Structure 1
Amino acid sequence: MNNFARHIAALDDSDRLLIAVSGGKDSMALLHLLSQQTIHVEVAHANFGLRGEESDGDEEFVKRSCKSLGVTCHIKRFDLQRDFPELGTQEAARNARYQWFRELLTERELTYITTAHHEGDQVESILQHFIRGAGPEGMVGMQALEGDLFRPLIHTPRASLLEYIDEQQIKFREDSTNATPHYTRNRVRHQLLPLLREFNPNFDETISRQSDLFLEGTQAIETCVDMDLKRWWNASEKSLNLDAISESLTPKHLILHLLSIHGFRPTHVEEVLKLADSQPGAKVEFDEKSIYRERDALVFRSDTTVQDQWVIQRLEDFDQSPLEAEIFNPAEVDLNQPHQAVFDADLLSYPLVLRPWKAGDRFQPLGMKGSQKLSDFLVQQKVAPGSKSGVLVLTSNDLICWVVPHRIDEKFKVRADTKKVLRIRALETL
């Protein structure tokens, strides 16, 4: 468990952890490990009621376990069909619990959502990304410390975790759905991974090590792309100087980035590179978007009229945007409702501007100590490259206060002394 100890040692003494505990082997092992540390910990258990009495049994088990360890336990029951009718069960459950976890971070003044993801989970996740054709970001996998998420077991082999459970005689609950082949992750775990381990008994360790190398490579590529954009990209004209193709260290990644932020599919990279070698006047068309080869640049254009931004001078102007907003007293608004963002109204300054996100944008995600590049945040939220261009941000005094509909900025959150709450909802057109 050396890697676990190393990740714990990296925390500050003032950090306070919220442990996501399902009652299964991994999360119960994590609970026992962290309860022996000097750091403050609390537990969150989400009951989705998907397995009837079995789900209720998990809830009672987690309650009893926390009581015996003297750990504060938070329980919440969800109705996914009511709150997330448009989403599949797995996606809805993930969105619901992480939204609740982040609310607890704020309410309880906690630092990190702490999960029991281990090396085996990392391998399964990377394999799923590879199967779906993910780029370098997908091969990076999960990091021990990522925004407001802390995964102290991410470099711990599952075998070591099971050995610890046996040695400490830790009790746990079995989730019957872990064996069903209905979910892709289970098929990867029970069918694909055993076969790969026959070829390489150290396959998990190999993939984990390669993931760390991909992280370094991805960070280097992002740095190169940022430098290229500053040198060759004209944002007002949406044009890329052709010198970028020959002089960039990472021309394909540069084109991939531009395709992503303008709503093109990432599979069009080779066609764009061929266009750069064509005669001026040539163009390629994808759906309702086009890229033109001009004398010394590639120009990205949309053949449909899309409003670039909405300027909201006062509360009533929200009616002219894809957002709706209302003012409430703090006691009148339910902070736990899905599909909404709530702000301390006095911390916002008009005019507010709703605009597409752009390269270089930064904000401080709710519950996080420092700021983060928005591009990194969208990767962590697993926003598909083709969908990134559709992400809008709401700004106040040029500061991002909401990445719609994902996360608000820590600086604008509702506090104990908040006098007026501004609740904003994104309409279905977003």
Structure 2
Amino acid sequence: MLHQPQQKTYLLAVSGGVDSMVLADLFQVSGFNFHIAHINYHLRNEDSNLDQKLVFDFCDKHNIPFHLYEVSEEDEQPENSIQNWARELRYRYFREIQEKENLDYLVTAHHLNDQLETFIINLSKASGIRGLSGIPQNENGILRPLLGFSKDEIYDFAKENQIDFREDQSNQKTDYLRNKIRHNIVPELEKINSDFLNNFSKSINYINQAKDFINQSVDDKIKILKINSDENQIIINKEKFSQESELIRYEILKRFGFNDENEMQKVLTAQTGSSFFNSEFQLIINRNELIFENKLEVRNDNLEEILLEIIDNEIIIPQNIKNEIQEFGNCFWKVDKQKVQLPLKLRRKQEGDLFFPIGMIGKKKISKFFKDEKLSILAKQKIWLLCDADERILGVLPFRQDGRFSSEKSYDYFEVRI
């Protein structure tokens, strides 16, 4: 079940139902090093307290560390989507315990019937190969060792080994989608084929093998379509991407967190300059490029402004910023001391910014200057403006200085060296 299980530590999520009590018993008789966590939502009056007591008594009898979270009025409960709220609450609590107690894995008691219900739910959502592959046995530090066993097998094991558990009567209701599938759809499928659940288990195994194959194919396709990449971004050829099958396009976008099927069509027809966002990535459309940027990486372009030191009349540009600027070239500017207000700073472009480029007559918007320089969307995001305390732009590094602040004197100036 687990690689070197005796050397690892575990946190078991135990509700008091037959699945989780069988799981707890198996871990106890196997001699694993584990803790147990229980959530009392207080949604079922005295039944909730009796569930808690059962789990606590099991831990007390076997000297197992017990962790309890009791939902109170301070925990704001939504009027709808209470299942999602409860799930987020318990997993957040479990992770807190893991971190505090330094436990390697979280273990849940999901079983084969849960797998089937999840499959049907995902099938109705057109969720792709990942959704159809169901609940993973081992992913993101969460283990589900009972996934291969049916609910009936778990009941039989509990009866044979005299394992105490409690039934949650709310599971008999059909208020929620999962319960409707459990009580209305699955029994009909089993009437059609008495061996349906066993055959489904085999099918899920085949689907997972297909998922692994597709994932490898997607990795290979990304390598072929990739124009450039570093630790923070991957650039893909948009034209070649659009020529791939719908499945490959969908799976590539999902790899970067873009799961909406409608969003895929928007990406294919989006104009240059369009951006798409999710919690992890920003997708930028730049001519024939799809630029996927990792939003979780700390990058210089996340900085709003940087105050600059002046040492021996040289404006000191931080080395990490200087490295970024040098992608576009070098410069040596002389800034008239008498014409600027200190402190000087670097910042990104803002709406309406303009300056007076040296060697030209009149003013020009920074956006127009970028366009004339034929800078890509990505390049524009990396450009720094040198400004003074009055927000006047002294130049666009390293391209062009503002002629109003350039010094022609052989003294009384600040140097900018890139």
Contact 1:259 1:266 in 2 (8 A): no
**Other-structure match for 2:189:** 196
**Other-structure match for 2:261:** 266
Q: CA deviation at 1:98?
A: 0.9
Q: Distance in 1 between matches of 2:296 and 2:55?
A: 47
Contact 2:111 2:146 in 1 (8 A): yes
Change beyond 3 A, Cα 1:183–1:38:
same
Paired letter, 1:123 = L
1:232 and 2:235 matched: no
TM-score (norm 1): 0.59
1:255 and 2:249 matched: yes
Q: CA deviation at 1:311?
A: 5.9
**Structure 2: runs of 5+ lacking an equivalent:** 277-282, 306-318, 321-418
1:113 and 2:110 matched: no
Q: Distance in 2 between matches of 1:120 and 1:310?
A: 39
Paired letter, 2:14 = V
Q: CA deviation at 1:263?
A: 5.0
Q: Considering only aligned residues, what root-mean-square deviation do their CA atoms show, in Å? A: 3.8
Q: CA deviation at 1:171?
A: 1.7
1:129 and 2:126 matched: no
Q: Distance in 2 between matches of 1:115 and 1:262?
A: 25
Q: CA deviation at 1:312?
A: 7.1
Q: CA deviation at 1:147?
A: 2.3
Q: Please say which structure displays the higher CA radius of gyration.
A: 2
Contact 1:256 1:266 in 2 (8 A): yes
Q: Distance in 2 between matches of 1:215 and 1:62?
A: 34
Superposed, 1:156-175 pairs within 5 Å as 156-175=149-168
Change beyond 3 A, Cα 1:61–1:243:
closer
**Structure 1: runs of 5+ lacking an equivalent:** 1-6, 276-282, 322-349, 352-430
Change beyond 3 A, Cα 1:173–1:12:
closer
Q: Distance in 2 between matches of 1:88 and 1:226?
A: 36
**Other-structure match for 1:221:** 214
**Other-structure match for 1:337:** none
Find the residue that maps to 1:91 and give its secondary structure. helix
**Other-structure match for 1:146:** 139
Q: Distance in 2 between matches of 1:237 and 1:113?
A: 33
Paired letter, 1:117 = H
Change beyond 3 A, Cα 1:237–1:225:
closer
Find the residue that maps to 2:51 and give its secondary structure. helix
Stretch of structure 1 that moved more, 69-78 or 94-103: 69-78
Change beyond 3 A, Cα 1:310–1:87:
farther
Aligned residues: 293
Find the residue that maps to 1:19 and give its secondary structure. strand
> 2:200 is matched with which residue: 197, 207, 216?
207
**Other-structure match for 1:91:** 84
Q: CA deviation at 1:245?
A: 6.0
Change beyond 3 A, Cα 1:60–1:24:
same
Q: What's the CA shift string for 1:193-245, capped at 9, x where partnerless?
A: 00001111111122222112111211221222222222223468965254556
Contact 2:116 2:200 in 1 (8 A): yes
Find the residue that maps to 1:142 and give its secondary structure. coil
**Other-structure match for 2:65:** 72
Q: CA deviation at 1:13?
A: 2.5
Contact 1:225 1:253 in 2 (8 A): no
Paired letter, 2:63 = G
Find the residue that maps to 1:117 and give its secondary structure. coil
Q: CA deviation at 1:43?
A: 0.8
Q: Distance in 2 between matches of 1:308 and 1:164?
A: 48
Paired letter, 1:174 = E
Q: What's the CA shift string for 1:258-280, capped at 9, x where partnerless?
A: 555485831576898xx8xxxxx
**Other-structure match for 1:335:** none
Q: Distance in 2 between matches of 1:25 and 1:269?
A: 43
Q: Distance in 2 between matches of 1:264 and 1:128?
A: 16
Q: Distance in 1 between matches of 2:141 and 2:35?
A: 15
Contact 2:238 2:288 in 1 (8 A): yes
Change beyond 3 A, Cα 1:130–1:263:
closer
Q: Distance in 2 between matches of 1:237 and 1:110?
A: 35
Contact 2:14 2:37 in 1 (8 A): yes
Paired letter, 1:252 = E
Q: What's the CA shift string for 1:307-350, capped at 9, x where partnerless?
A: 9799677xxx88x69xxxxxxxxxxxxxxxxxxxxxxxxxxxx9
Change beyond 3 A, Cα 1:92–1:262:
closer
Q: Distance in 2 between matches of 1:307 and 1:203?
A: 43
Q: Distance in 2 between matches of 1:264 and 1:108?
A: 35
**Other-structure match for 2:19:** 26
Change beyond 3 A, Cα 1:37–1:177:
same
Contact 2:40 2:70 in 1 (8 A): yes
Bigger relative contact order (CA 8 A; separation at least 6)? 1
Q: What's the CA shift string for 1:358-396, capped at 9, x where partnerless?
A: xxxxxxxxxxxxxxxxxxxxxxxxxxxxxxxxxxxxxxx
TM-score (norm 2): 0.61
Contact 1:84 1:92 in 2 (8 A): yes
Find the residue that maps to 2:5 and give its secondary structure. coil
Contact 1:16 1:40 in 2 (8 A): yes
Q: CA deviation at 1:86?
A: 8.9
Q: Distance in 2 between matches of 1:35 and 1:166?
A: 17
Q: CA deviation at 1:52?
A: 2.2
Change beyond 3 A, Cα 1:216–1:82:
same
Q: CA deviation at 1:151?
A: 1.1
Q: Distance in 2 between matches of 1:175 and 1:258?
A: 41
Q: Distance in 2 between matches of 1:307 and 1:71?
A: 42
Q: What's the CA shift string for 1:62-81, capped at 9, x where partnerless?
A: 11122123322111112477
Paired letter, 1:142 = I
Contact 1:140 1:214 in 2 (8 A): yes
Contact 2:238 2:290 in 1 (8 A): no
